[in-house]
Chains A and B, each alone.
Chain A
């Protein structure tokens, strides 16, 4: 700030006030951008640029051994995906594991949230315990579950044996392996989602229940007609987050395969898109094709989002 430009009649005090006023107007105008700058600078460098670069790389033939050596191939990486049986297999697996892990997870979370919403002794204990699986890493959880689902010695088969059932070869069957992988996801995320539902439950105004009770609604009808509608935004939020998570599933199927690598089982029976991307890029060294898989995943998510948004708009118009 240049103090010399001020008129000589003003005393130092007036000068200071004027300067402060200018500084403040200037600060009020620009400080919001200064506060946002760190986020957007880092996001541009590590979020937006990679997103675009991946799109660019997906139009080239690039090998991991020489990532600067790019040969333009247009849409060939994408057209190859369309006829690639392993891509479709991974897509199918991602969808089925996604459904098998998300649907029961959110239903159970809703039930647990409902139970936790009671007046309860030891409620803090139950809540903290519900969150402990969330504190366990994918790697640690998967390594434990691999052993629990072991064919010859696992405790799951041992418990099945106690119930009189035959042992299951969890890892080698398509459905059994996907069930086991889904179990890991369900175990880690149910409690976390339950707490998010609980937060929403606590925000439902008590009057809604009172008037429903006055109308003679049973507890079940109260749940269906008061609780669930009030939770709809939260349920939508958890569905979106879980769907994004399911699309990106990687660590569980990778480590569930033990030392056998990124194939997702001997018959690719639980190879997800995230795992297939990794196999193409870092095992087979085809970065261009891996980029195409990454963008295909993103487009599938956008498509799913558009379908949900359209369905919502349609519902609002008709309902």
Chain B
């Protein structure tokens, strides 16, 4: 997304700016780099002083071991399925609701919108106890639908799409389509979706990342030895009863982080563009 260069005042960066930003970049990347380093040594070497600073030769062994030990492969598939479904449905339902809030007149609009915003403040801890009861009643403990279903909609997404469509979608476009005799679903498909696509992409990415990294509820609903997502499997690796091999733990961390880092490396420009174009602002 093109950023308006005229807005604001942009000084040319001096050397100090580059030094400070370089430092910030170093701090951002170092823990990830060291994750790779630790995943390439033996468990004994990782906890030996001083800790290694350069990659070692055991990355492949550790990957094979971690992959088989807690079935990171299954966890990877589970996480992809969960995050994909959650992102898809959140984007779809948020766009529909956001469109209604932004462009359609109806009774109760302001009250319902205020309700949506208010729900953003409810901490997830509040729903965990009844949700746990529901999934035990339904026999869904350790099944993926128990983490997918509660996350299919998000108030944040509705608000996000509303803010975007408020400015991006001219109301005349909707009116024109209606005069042409398009019925509601056609308007959604041919007018709203094309206009909303950039914001839908950014929202999809944000929700996907959030769902991929979600911890509290999956940790309760799933078990590391049963049918875990990556984060749950990882928590199992890090807090097992047996003596912990830290190199294997960090190899698990690497496996869980790498797919998202790859996505960021490929699409980071668009994600960042979407955020800084103001789509996420209040």
Q: How far is the CA of A141 from the CA of B32 in the complex (A)?
A: 8
Contacts A38-B97, A294-B128; A210 near B9 (Cβ below 8 A) = yes
B40 within 8 A of A: no
Q: Is the CB of B150 within 8 A of A158?
A: no
Contact flag A298-B100 (CB < 8 Å), given A128-B272, A191-B28, A237-B281: no
Tell me if B96 counts as interface (CB < 8 A to partner A): yes
Q: A32-B100, A43-B155, A144-B38 are in contact. Are A115 and B250 (CB under 8 A)?
A: no
A233 and B28 alpha carbons, distance in the complex (Å) = 27
The count of A-to-B residue pairs whose CB atoms sit within 8 angstroms is 326
A145 within 8 A of B: yes
Is residue B69 within 8 Å, beta carbon to beta carbon, of the partner chain? Answer: no
Among the stretches A2-10, A73-81, A170-178, A247-255, the one at the interface with B is: A247-255
In the complex, A220 Cα to B158 Cα: how many Å?
Answer: 38
Give A114 Cβ to nearest chain B Cβ, in Å: 9
Contact A155 B34 (CB under 8 A): yes
User: Which A residues lie within 8 Å of B263 (CB)?
Assistant: 135
Q: Which of A34, A49, A57, A139 is B231 in contact with, Cβ under 8 Å?
A: A139
The answer to whether A140 has its CB under 8 Å from any CB of chain B is: yes
Complex CA gap A292/B199 in Å reads 39
For window 77-110 of B, CB contacts with A under 8 Å fall at 93-94, 96-97, 99-101, 104-106, 109
A50-B131, A155-B50 known; A127 vs B8 contact (CB < 8 Å): no
Instruction: For A49, list chain B residues within 8 Å (CB).
Output: 130
Cβ distance A234 to chain B, nearest Cβ, rounded Å: 6
- Give A243-268 as 1s and 0s: 1 = Cβ < 8 Å from B's Cβ atoms: 01001101100110011010000000
A131-B264, A199-B278 known; A50-B97 Cβ under 8 A? no
A129 touches B29 (CB 8 A): yes
A53 to B130, CA, bound (A): 6
Report chain A residues within 8 Å CB of B130.
Answer: 49-50, 53-54, 57
Given contacts A54-B126, A137-B215, A199-B276, contact A35 B231 (CB under 8 A): no
A64 to chain B, nearest CB (A): 8
Q: Determine whether A148 belongs to the interface, using a CB cutoff of 8 Å to chain B.
A: yes
Chain B's nearest CB lies how many Å from the CB of A110?
Answer: 13
Mask: chain A, 297-311; 1 = CB below 8 Å from B; 0 = not: 110011001000000
Contact present for A39 and B123 (CB under 8 Å) = no
- Choice from B17, B155, B238, B271 contacting A139 with Cβ under 8 Å: B238
| CB pair A119 B10 closer than 8 Å | yes
Known contacts A54-B127, A140-B257: A233-B272 contact under CB 8 Å: no
Question: Could you tell me if A132 and B28 are in contact, using CB atoms closer than 8 angstroms?
Answer: yes
Residues from chain B with a CB closer than 8 A to the CB of A116 are: 21
Q: A33-B106, A54-B130 are in contact. Are A248 and B125 (CB under 8 A)?
A: yes
Contact (A201, B8) CB under 8 Å given A127-B276, A136-B257, A259-B241 = yes
In the complex, per-residue mask of B168-209: 1 if CB is within 8 Å of any chain A CB, else 0: 000000000010010110001000000000000000000001
B13:A120 contact, CB within 8 angstroms: yes
By the criterion CB–CB under 8 Å, are B272 and A195 in contact? yes
Contact status B129-A248, CB under 8 Å: no
The residues of B that contact A202 with a CB separation of less than 8 Å are 3-4, 7-8, 276, 278
How many chain A residues touch B (CB < 8 A): the figure is 113
Q: Does A291 contact B (CB under 8 A)?
A: yes
Give the docked Cα–Cα distance between A68 and B100 (Å).
40
Which residues of chain A come closer than 8 Å to B62, judged between CB atoms?
Answer: none
Alpha-carbon separation in the docked complex, A248 to B121 (Å): 11
Interface check A42, CB cutoff 8 A: yes
Contact residues in B for A131 (Cβ distance below 8 Å): 264, 268, 271-272, 275
Given contacts A143-B238, A259-B240, A301-B123, contact A57 B129 (CB under 8 A): yes
Bound Cα distance A293, B129 (Å):
11
Question: Given A128-B268, A148-B34, is A209 in contact with B8 using a C-beta cutoff of 8 Å?
Answer: yes
Assuming the contacts A46-B149, A139-B235, asked whether A198 and B276 have C-beta atoms less than 8 A apart, the reply is yes
B144 at interface by CB-CB < 8 Å: no
Please state if B8 and A291 are interface contacts (CB–CB under 8 Å). no
| Residues on A with beta carbons closer than 8 Å to the beta carbon of B96 | 35-36, 38-39
Report Cα–Cα, A152/B48, bound state, in Å.
8
Q: Please tell me if the beta carbons of B31 and A23 are within 8 angstroms of each other in the complex.
A: no
Q: Is B166 an interface residue (CB 8 A)?
A: no
